[in-house]
Amino acid sequence: MSASPALPSSPAGSLSAPGPSQAELLDFVRHVAADAELVAALPLDPEGRTWMRLDGPAGSEAWLIGWPPGTGTGWHDHGESLGAFVTAAGELRENSLAVRLPTDGWKTLELNDGVDRERRLTVGEGRAFGRHHVHEVLNESPDRHAVSVHAYHPPLPLMRRYGRSGRTLRLEQVERPADWQ
């Protein structure tokens, strides 16, 4: 399923154009999250997450995502992509790590104390993030769906999934676009 919100796009530019900044991605997802008609068009499933692909600014990819009660992403990163997301309905919690992880050559890391961050994001609240951002996003409501808007540039080349037990972070899987589209 795909949709294109009625938003002005940044000019595509040449292949060497850097693409949208974190701030531009955040502005885009805020604008889309405020489009009540588009948010209401997302089919919500009581069991699993649902999503709708959107046209992001300047060659970025964007997603409208529905979160049933009690669901989450698990720990992951977005490869080398910048990103931003905003809650459009309900409330989400983001747990993140305030440390840059090595990108290759490891399977298990012991995290230092003090690297954990938590944000509660209600309607209209969100954040932008840089490359190498590791986080998990959760809808902890026992009875209410949440909806969010996400944008990434460049379009996601991969996502690394991690398992976490206490201070131990373990690389578990590397997903490519064909795995989630």
Residue 41 is predicted with a pLDDT of 96
pTM of the model: 0.86
HSE-CB at 61 with a 13 A cutoff on CA atoms is 15
Kindly indicate the confidence band of residue 100, based on its pLDDT and cuts at 50, 70 and 90: confident
Residue 181 is predicted with a pLDDT of 64
Strand partners, 67: 146
Is residue 21 over pLDDT 90? yes
The DSSP symbol for 99 reads S
Angle at 105 between CA 103 and CA 109, to 5 degrees: 80
What would the mean pLDDT of 20-36 be, rounded to a whole number?
Answer: 97
Largest alpha-carbon pair distance within the chain? Answer: 47
